[in-house]
Amino acid sequence: MSMIIATCSKYPSRSRLKLMKKNQNGFVPVIIILVVLIGFVGAYFIGTFKNKSTIINPSSSPLAIATQSAVPTIPTVKQTTDPTANWKTYTDVNSRFSFRHPNLDTNCCMIGGPFHGNATHVATFANTTTTREGTDKPFDGFAVYIDSTDKTSLEEYFNQEKSGISGYYKEAYNQTPPPTSFSQVTIGDNQAIVFKYKSLSASYVLSLPNGGKLILIMTEEKEGSFQPTLNQILSTFKFTQ
């Protein structure tokens, strides 16, 4: 009897085997479910950790982005100043015009006038750092002449002046004058002409409201040394009321 019991305890009965097999079959799905749940939980924590790492990164932090966008950008303002703003103003009351110049001297020098007509010298403006007293050395500056009797057009005035230059060279030097260039320009809002017959000189001519002529004769110490300054002076020219 004891051997039967021992044998029975060593080898389970058929009904008990069925019950164990049934329990094993029910335990397998539970294990699968637990594995799946562990996988989901692990994925969740991994994703959460990555998100926290991203937030901690200052470069992508919402707080950092908000702080950066809150800092205003101040645009750079380029201030443009008029280079002639502090220049001295010259006004001719009789012929009613004015212009500004960089405080040039009006008492030191003389520049010869036109080669024809009845022009009157008004003033000479010179950069005294380029002058040499008692010599004919070219200097940086210009002279103002007015011919109130000339009623010709600008083109006719140029032709007569060109003829006067030619006659002067033949009489004084017995030679043909150098080529004379001619072009139209604008001085202020006024049509004018400019002509050159030698490298260090140029004449600007425009008509006055009364029909006369205003002649500006420029000289330079060396080629190009005064032309930019004269261009700025002429940009300030205007007729006055």
Domain with 213 in it: 88-239
Q: Are 226 and 141 in contact, with CB atoms under 8 Å apart?
A: yes
Asked if residue 63 is part of any domain, the answer here is: yes
pLDDT tens by residue, the chain, 241 residues: 334 334 344 445 555 545 455 555 555 565 666 666 676 556 665 655 555 544 445 444 444 444 455 555 555 656 568 899 999 999 999 999 999 999 999 998 999 999 999 999 999 999 999 998 888 889 999 999 999 999 999 999 999 999 999 999 999 999 988 888 889 999 988 999 999 988 789 999 999 998 899 999 999 999 999 999 999 999 999 999 7
Residues 95 and 241: their CA atoms lie apart, in Å, by 10
Which whole-number Å values give the CA distances from 126 to 110, 194, 218, in the listed order? 9, 20, 10
Same domain, 132 and 59: no
For residue 204, is it within any domain?
yes
Q: Are residues 56 and 123 in the same domain?
A: no
SS (H, E, C) the chain: CHHHHHHHHHCCCHHHHHHHHHHHHHHHHHHHHHHHHHHHHHHHHHHHHHHHHHHHCCCCCHHHHHHHHHCCCCCCCCCCCCCCCCCEEEEECCCCEEEEECCCECCCCCCCCCCCCCCEEEEEEECHHHCCCCCCCCCCEEEEEEECCCCCCHHHHHHHHHHHHHHHHHHHCCCCCCCCEEEEEEECCEEEEEEEEECCEEEEEEECCCCCEEEEEEECCCCCCCHHHHHHHHHCCEECC
Domain tally, the chain: 2
Are 48 and 100 in the same domain? no
Same domain, 54 and 134: no
* 135 lies in the same domain as 172: yes
* Residue 83 domain flag: no
State which of 16, 44, 70 marks the end of a domain. Answer: 70
Q: What is the CATH number of the domain that holds 120?
A: 3.40.1000
Q: Are residues 28 and 140 in the same domain?
A: no
Do 194 and 142 share a domain, yes or no?
Answer: yes
Both 129 and 159 in one domain: the answer is yes
Question: What is the pLDDT, as a whole number, of residue 8?
Answer: 41
Q: Is residue 79 part of a domain?
A: no
> 82 lies in a domain?
no
End position of a domain, from candidates 19, 42, 70: 70
120 is a domain residue: yes
Asked if residue 75 is part of any domain, the answer here is no
Per-residue pLDDT at 5: 39
CB-facing half-sphere around the CA of 37: CA atoms within 13 A: 6
**Based on the domain organization, do 13 and 102 belong to the same domain?**
no
224 and 106 both lie in a single domain: yes
Q: Is residue 80 part of a domain?
A: no
- 204 and 132, same domain (yes or no): yes
Q: What is the pTM of this model?
A: 0.66
65 shares its domain with 93: no
